[in-house]
Amino acid sequence: MEPTTTTSDSDASNSSSSTYPICLCTFLVGLDFNLIATAIPVITSEFNSTRDIGWYGAAFMVSMCASQPLAGKMYTLFPKKMAYLSYLLLFEVGSLVCALAPSSRALIAGRAIAGFETGVWTGVMGSSFSIASIVGPVIAGGFAQNVTWRWCFWINLPIGGAAAVVFFALVHLRPAPTEFPPLKNKLGSIDGLGLVLFAGSITMLLLALQWGGIEYAWSSSVVVGLLVGFGVVFILFVFWTVRQKEEALIPPRLFTVNRNPALLCAAAFFVNGPFQVIIYWLPVWFQGVLSASPTKSGIDFFPTVISDVLAAFIGAGIVTQLGWWNPFLIFAEILGGVGYSLASNLSHLAMQASLPQDLVPLGSSTLLAVISTSCAIFAAIGQAVFQRQLQVNLGKVVSSEVVERIIDSGVTDVDQIVGANMLRRVIDKYSESVTNTFYIPAVAPVLSFFLLLGCKWISVKSKQSATTARKEKDDAEKGQTHNRGRR
């Protein structure tokens, strides 16, 4: 008797067994992504690093945006299982560096290492990421208040180890034809120069935003040099990308299909990054201004996160049923909190609907790279605005020496620097400085709104119908081949 298990049955079984370790790894990334924001005020108090708040997010995001297209190449050229596990190991190393960090700079370095791993995992199993978004702030608050903030990173080690074991044991992937060429050919197809140019240009921009008007005057040779360097290197990256064509880090073919991919990427840039300002500075306001404990801060963050997650699920469901994403994506720009997740989630659906099937993976990875770049840049902008506002506002009530001491201390240490008679006035100015950063996520989505108005209307259902028809045709051809073989 011939075995009755078909190839499709085997693939379905393997897909099912792969789901659990991938969900676990995605949960791990989501946890890391959401833990640090609540712990930042406590971290700044230990390292006296209020100046570095933006870098804790920016370092992670720069690595993430640089690794996103690279991860896609690695996944295509090398055995997928080993590529996944290698990136997971890199994430664990970054978490270990963060957990052991003796200084703020070491913590930033650890965040940069960990960010390289998320290029593989981000964008899959959104529900696992959403769950991590909900529990992450509360877990971080509990660790920071009752144990140590370092456990926000220690926790990644056992979870990551368990994920690696389960992934290694359960996931069995067939080698793709692209995995067989010689190693030299594989390495030659990786756009290393493109990666260096892209990451280098963004790093120079972040340094200019971080230092401009704070460490150095905007007209100083250092800041001007960084801005000019950013412009020159980024232009070189664009020319190199056009020259490399399909071998480029981000192949330009993606933007020639129709106008939607470019508009969706530009719109996502002005939504996802600005929302990072809320994620990183709202806990600063809770703990530094309201004197909330880290745990209370995590709980107070609940309304933002829960509405965020619910909007993502409900919005995706409605669009899947109706087909048209344009009105919902445009409406999302008008809202805050709920609108962010709705816009972020629908951007991915819109990108998939706007591209032919063979370009969907490229479109998804490019959109994620743009989002990560946006998050890094706006985290630096938020830091620049916050620090500048802090200098100006505090300078109205205390001396410049006290202002520098407050900035060089931690978020929760203000009451140890100024006397009780001045504390209320200083806290009010501190609050004003934090809330001024929230104008960034209030204004930036306006640009996104107008960009989305230019998008071509393409229904998700038309893509689904085409995919279903193609699948039915393939199944019919397989059935005919099978019947001829039996005869």
Backbone angles phi, psi at 325, to 5 degrees: -100, -20
Question: How many C-beta atoms lie closer than 10 Å to residue 312's C-beta?
Answer: 23
The pLDDT of residue 209 is 83
Please compute, for residue 12, the number of CA atoms within 13 A of its CA located in the half-sphere on the CB side: 5
The pLDDT of residue 301 is 78
| Cβ–Cβ < 8 Å for 431, 265 | no
The pLDDT of residue 50 is 77
Q: What is the largest CA-CA distance in the chain?
A: 96
| Cβ–Cβ < 8 Å for 262, 255 | yes
**Closest by CA position to 373, among listed 84, 121, 58, 162:** 58
Q: What is the DSSP string of 129-165?
A: HHHHHHHHHHHHHHHHHHS-TTHHHHTHHHHHHHHHH
- Measured CA to CA, the distance from residue 44 to residue 408 in angstroms comes to 9
**Closest by CA position to 112, among listed 212, 203, 208, 226:** 203
What pLDDT digit, counting tens, does each position of 30-87 carry?
A: 677 667 878 888 888 888 777 787 777 777 777 777 676 666 666 667 777 777 777 7
Helices (H) and strands (E) in the chain, counts: 20, 0
- Measured CA to CA, the distance from residue 399 to residue 445 in angstroms comes to 37
Identify the CATH class of 14-173+187-191+249-480. mainly alpha
| Cβ–Cβ < 8 Å for 169, 17 | no
| Cβ–Cβ < 8 Å for 348, 367 | yes
pLDDT at position 327 over 80: no
pLDDT at position 125 over 60: no
Structure tokens at 330: 């445009």
- Measured CA to CA, the distance from residue 211 to residue 233 in angstroms comes to 19
CA angle 158, 114, 412 (to 5 degrees): 90
Given pLDDT bands bounded at 50, 70 and 90, which one contains residue 5? very low
| Cβ–Cβ < 8 Å for 312, 344 | yes
pLDDT at position 317 over 60: yes
Q: 216 by DSSP, 3-state: which?
A: strand
Report the share of the chain in percent with pLDDT over 90. 6
Terminal Cα-to-Cα distance of the chain (whole angstroms): 17
Region 430-449 average pLDDT: 88
Structure tokens at 95: 């978490």
**Closest by CA position to 69, among listed 276, 247, 261:** 247
Alpha helices in 285-337 (DSSP H): 294-300, 302-322, 326-332
- Measured CA to CA, the distance from residue 184 to residue 108 in angstroms comes to 34
Q: What is the DSSP string of 350-370?
A: HHHHHS-GGGHHHHHHHHHHH
What pLDDT digit, counting tens, does each position of 219-254 carry?
A: 899 999 999 999 999 999 999 988 888 777 777 888
| Cβ–Cβ < 8 Å for 143, 149 | yes
Backbone angles phi, psi at 355, to 5 degrees: -120, 150
| Cβ–Cβ < 8 Å for 305, 137 | yes
What pLDDT digit, counting tens, does each position of 273-292 carry?
A: 888 888 888 888 888 888 88
pLDDT at position 339 over 70: no
Region 76-105 average pLDDT: 79
